[in-house]
Every structure is written in C-alpha cells, then in structure tokens.
C-alpha cells in the first residue's frame, strides 16, 4: 500500500470560475462564496439482525451553492431565458425556459497561494431566477444560485487537482476547455 502524502491543502479563496455552455466560455471573477456537497449511498450488510459491514460510495451527484456577481448574458443563458419571440433586448422566463447543461471550473487557492483546479462537467441551474433588492443598502447584493451536478460518461461528477502535480497540457486547458477526456489516462 502506498503511503498517503502529508500535504495539507485548505481551500481559502476562489479567484475565478468559468462556465461553458456549448462552445461559449464565460469567466466570472467576482465570487463571494462557493459551497459544495456531494451525494453518497451507504449500504449495509446484516448478520442475524446486526450490521457487520458498511460501505459508502459516491454517486457523482451533488449540489453547488454560489454567491457571486455574474455577467448578465451568462445569467440569462444559464436560466434558459428566452428572447426569440420578444423585442430586442427583452428576455422572458416561464414554461419554455429550459436550463441548459453546462460545465463549471474553478481556480482555487489555499492560504499559502498554492493553486488547485476544480471542475464539474455536467451542471444545471437547480432553481429559477431569485433576487433581492434592498433600497438604501451599503453593499450591492450578490446573486445566489444553486447548481446541481451529475456524473459524466466516466462516472465522475467532480474533478480536482493541485496545479503543481499537473501536466502542462492539462493545466493550460483545465479552466477554459475542460472535458472529461482531457484528464483521462492515455493507455498505451
């Protein structure tokens, strides 16, 4: 059995996120917070009514909760807001609004400025538009959004890697051109 490396990485700051819808990628740099939770399934084995073994496995599914200042056009796109039958510059949200699937990547740093890349290749906005405006506030409110993620064709819903251990050809494409094939091991 290989020894477990003793490097500690404590996520401290998200400096940039990139959302890719189809072939269009949009950078988001004004991020307040990113919260991630993943789903698991726990199975147990009983012998004469007593649990003798438990195994917990990931499902590849989960939820991201973000607060950020999001580019307006990206927000309209991720919410599936339609403008086809409306006057120029007008968008509507309703029965015909289908939230598109997108990928999301993040550039995360620890308190010592060590870089980590994260990716969620199959995401969809989990709720419709919701905003709050407070007149007289001293701070501009960030948009809060809930994003569901699901496993890709490799069975993974979430990927991450420390920058220092990454091959340059992967590192240079991770944030703006991430695909599950980018990080798949090449078999000889």
What residues form DSSP beta bridges with 46? 51
Q: 1 vs 78, which has greater pLDDT?
A: 78
Q: In the chain, where are the structural domains located? A: 13-178
Angle at 95 between CA 89 and CA 96, to 5 degrees: 55
37 pLDDT more than 70: yes
pLDDT tens, residue by residue, 121-134:
999 999 988 888 88
Distances from the Cα of 91 to the Cαs of 82, 99, 177, 178, in angstroms?
A: 5, 14, 28, 29
d(CA 173, CA 118): 12
Lowest mean pLDDT among 4-13, 14-23, 32-41, 78-87: 4-13
pLDDT at site 1: 52
Contact assessment for residue 147 and residue 64, using Cβ atoms and an 8 Å cutoff: yes
**What integer pLDDT is reported at residue 134 of this predicted model?**
87
Phi and psi at residue 180, to the nearest 5°? -60, -30
One-letter-per-residue 3-state SS of 66-131: EEEECCHHHHHHHCCCECCCCCCCCCECCCCCCCCCEEEEEEEECCCCCEEEEEEEEEEECCCCCC
Model pLDDT for residues 94-111, shown as the tens digit of each residue:
998 999 999 999 999 999
Average pLDDT over residues 151-163: 95
The pTM (predicted TM-score) of the whole model is: 0.88
Look at residue 188 and give its three-state secondary structure. Answer: coil
pLDDT in tens, 53-98: 999 999 999 999 999 999 999 999 999 998 888 999 899 999 989 9
DSSP labels, 5-39 = P-------EEEEEEEEETTEEEEE-EEEEEEEEEE
CATH code that applies to domain 13-178: 2.30.110
């Amino acid at each position: 059995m290989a020894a477990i490396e003793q490097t500690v990485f404590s996520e401290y700051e998200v400096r940039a996120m990139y959302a890719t819808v189809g072939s269009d990628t949009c950078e988001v740099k004004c991020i307040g917070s990113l919260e991630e939770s993943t789903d698991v399934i726990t199975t147990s084995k009983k012998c004469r009514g007593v649990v003798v073994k438990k195994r917990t496995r990931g499902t590849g599914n989960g939820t991201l909760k973000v607060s950020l200042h999001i580019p307006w056009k990206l927000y309209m796109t991720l919410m599936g807001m339609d403008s086809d039958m409306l006057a120029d510059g007008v968008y509507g949200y309703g029965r015909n609004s289908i939230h598109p699937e997108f990928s999301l990547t993040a550039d995360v740093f620890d308190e010592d400025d060590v870089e980590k890349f994260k990716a969620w290749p199959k995401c969809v906005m989990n709720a419709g538009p919701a905003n709050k405006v407070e007149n007289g506030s001293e701070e501009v409110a960030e948009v809060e959004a809930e994003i569901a993620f699901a496993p890709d064709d490799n069975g993974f819903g979430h990927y991450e890697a420390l920058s220092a251990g990454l091959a340059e050809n992967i590192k240079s494409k991770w944030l703006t051109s991430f695909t599950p094939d980018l990080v798949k091991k090449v078999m000889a």
